[in-house]
């Protein structure tokens, strides 16, 4: 602190706090929310903390101060966290006759409650999917309608509710030989799965929709709810997600087939829930993604909460994020072999 002006001392204090919080965030994937639910909420702030530390590093760099080492070292320690937000090395699809594609999309009930001004959301989503021709399609917040039809696909859907019948669905161009759902207690959220036959291989595909924190994307709404109440509520949601993740992992361990996990985790890649479900699987974005991996529209913060994970028997030959505004989520697609 010697040799620093009063202003720079304040800046370094703020820098130290941001670096300390980011260091804590690095260990969150190993701390069950049920053990420390309030601390687990910090995982949502990781993109912002990384951005802050980059700014502090640049500030000290331009001022030619050795204090730049603090944020530099903290960022270096968590370099894998940075690449989970933004993929620096460009990847392109590897063409192969054995390739097939898997798409994941939370369609937000096809805009049934008119969250967006688009009155043709369902038709536009159907047109988009038809043009992309995924071999397998996982949908969350799916609403059963007479007009959403995909010729050439087999389908398994799990629908609940009275007035608005909704849930999840998996569409497959390959024959479905088995299907089912994993019920999550005390919620309408669940996981579903199908077993498909591709040539002579049987593949298990999961579609997860973990508990939502139902955090509004409007800043004015966030300001109405006190930070203490918001933190408590999200912490409770993360505890539910932990239980749901444990059910999925236990179910997956009973499966003898090659496995693909898709879904809306309602949590980031820095969380215990993601780490628990991922295990030794590959995250398709980390292998073959480009740029920002944003899958959820949250006040310009590039949140990645939708995933396609594959066991190591698959080659990830491509990955794509789509910037189409037909839901509060953005679709993603992985090319696999």
Q: For the CA atoms of the chain, what is the radius of gyration?
A: 21
pLDDT band per the 50, 70, 90 thresholds, residue 315: very high
Token pair, residue 169, equals: 């669905």
pLDDT band per the 50, 70, 90 thresholds, residue 1: low
**Do residues 307 and 316 make contact, with C-beta atoms less than 8 angstroms apart?**
no
pTM, to two decimals: 0.92
**Do residues 108 and 122 make contact, with C-beta atoms less than 8 angstroms apart?**
no
pLDDT at 90 over 80: no
pLDDT in tens, 193-232: 999 999 889 999 999 999 997 665 454 444 555 567 778 8
**Do residues 330 and 295 make contact, with C-beta atoms less than 8 angstroms apart?**
yes
| Three-state secondary structure readout of 23-46 | HHHHCHHHCCCCCCHHHHHHHHHH
Domain boundaries, the chain: 6-77, 100-336
pLDDT cut 90: percent of the chain above it: 71
d(CA 288, CA 298): 24
pLDDT band per the 50, 70, 90 thresholds, residue 101: very high
What integer pLDDT is reported at residue 160 of this predicted model?
A: 87
Residue 14 or residue 303, greater confidence: 14
Task: Output b/e per residue, 266-299; b: 16+ Cβ within 10 A.
Answer: bbbbbbbbbebbbeebbbbbbbbbbeebbbbeee
Domain 100-336 has CATH 3.30.565.10: no
pLDDT band per the 50, 70, 90 thresholds, residue 89: low
Which of 76, 2, 8, 82 is closest to 48 using CA atoms? 82
pLDDT band per the 50, 70, 90 thresholds, residue 302: confident
Strands 201-209, 258-264: parallel, antiparallel or unpaired by DSSP? parallel
pLDDT in tens, 242-258: 999 999 999 999 999 99
Average pLDDT over every residue of 92-115: 92
Query: Which regions of the chain does DSSP assign to beta strands (E)?
Result: 86-87, 100-106, 136-143, 154-160, 166-172, 176-183, 190-198, 201-209, 258-264, 282-283, 291-292, 296-298, 301-303, 306-310, 316-321, 332-336
pLDDT in tens, 22-66: 999 999 899 999 888 778 888 888 888 999 999 999 999 999 999
**Do residues 77 and 50 make contact, with C-beta atoms less than 8 angstroms apart?**
no
Burial-class residue 64 by CB neighbours within 10 Å (0-12, 13-18, 19+): exposed
d(CA 195, CA 205): 6
**Low-confidence winner among 1-5, 99-103, 262-266 (lowest mean pLDDT):** 1-5
Average pLDDT over every residue of 292-315: 89
What integer pLDDT is reported at residue 162 of this predicted model?
A: 73
Average pLDDT over every residue of 118-122: 93
Average pLDDT of the chain, as a whole number? 91
What integer pLDDT is reported at residue 164 of this predicted model?
A: 77
Instruction: Provide the terminal-to-terminal Cα distance of the chain, rounded to the nearest Å.
Output: 55
What integer pLDDT is reported at residue 293 of this predicted model?
A: 87
């Amino acid at each position: 602190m010697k040799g620093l002006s009063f202003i720079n001392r304040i800046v370094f204090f703020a820098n130290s706090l941001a670096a300390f919080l980011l260091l804590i965030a690095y260990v969150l994937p190993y701390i069950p929310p049920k053990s420390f639910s309030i601390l687990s909420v910090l995982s949502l702030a990781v993109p912002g903390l990384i951005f802050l530390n980059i700014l502090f590093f640049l500030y000290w760099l331009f001022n030619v101060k050795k204090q730049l080492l603090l944020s530099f070292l903290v960022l270096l320690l968590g370099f894998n966290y940075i690449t989970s937000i933004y993929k620096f090395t460009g990847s392109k699809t590897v063409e192969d006759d054995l390739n097939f594609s898997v798409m994941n999309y939370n369609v937000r009930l096809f805009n049934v409650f008119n969250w967006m001004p688009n009155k043709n959301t369902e038709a536009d989503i159907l047109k988009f999917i038809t043009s992309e021709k995924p071999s397998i399609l996982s949908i969350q917040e799916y609403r059963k309608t007479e007009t959403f039809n995909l010729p050439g696909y087999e389908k398994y859907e799990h629908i609940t509710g009275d007035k608005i019948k909704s849930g999840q669905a998996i569409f497959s161009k390959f024959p479905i030989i088995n299907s089912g759902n994993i019920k999550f207690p005390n919620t309408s959220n669940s996981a579903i799965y199908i077993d498909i036959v591709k040539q002579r291989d049987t593949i298990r595909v999961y579609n997860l929709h973990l508990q939502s924190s139902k955090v509004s994307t409007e800043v004015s709404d966030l300001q109405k709810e006190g930070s203490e109440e918001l933190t408590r509520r999200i912490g409770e949601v993360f505890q539910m997600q932990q239980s749901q993740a444990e059910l999925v992992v236990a179910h997956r361990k009973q499966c003898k087939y090659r496995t693909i996990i898709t879904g809306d985790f309602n949590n980031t890649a820095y969380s215990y829930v993601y780490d628990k479900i991922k295990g030794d699987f590959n995250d398709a974005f980390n292998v073959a993604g480009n740029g920002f991996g944003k899958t959820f529209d949250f006040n310009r913060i590039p949140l990645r909460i939708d995933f396609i994970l594959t066991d190591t028997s698959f080659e990830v030959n491509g990955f794509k994020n789509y910037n189409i505004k037909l839901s509060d989520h953005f679709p993603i697609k992985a090319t696999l072999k």
